[in-house]
Amino acid sequence: MIDLTQLNEGQSAKVISIEGGAGINKRIQDMGIREGSIVTKVTRLFSQGPVVVKAGRTQVALGRGMASKIMVEPLEK
């Protein structure tokens, strides 16, 4: 299990858990990212900037701090 920031560009993963308080959990879930859902990392800027993921038919840009709270299990290609 790794956090979302560690996925490679184009890699998909299953969301295992969201590590944070009620407020951050609600914000992330309101973006369509929930435990059990599949997300695909679209892109990221080298060591800074947002992490862009696709959840369902929606693309979302997450700050690195928020993305690091989303624990995922990478899917095999």
Q: For 44-65, how does the pLDDT look when each residue is reduced to its tens digit (9 = 90+)?
A: 666 677 899 999 899 999 998 9
- Residue in this structure with the two tokens 């690091």, named with its chain if needed: 68
May I ask the CATH class of domain 2-74?
mainly beta
Structure token pair of residue 50: 């947002």
DSSP letter at 32?
T
Residue 38's closest CA among 23, 11, 57, 56? Answer: 56
Over residues 2-19, the pLDDT tens digits come to: 999 999 999 999 999 999
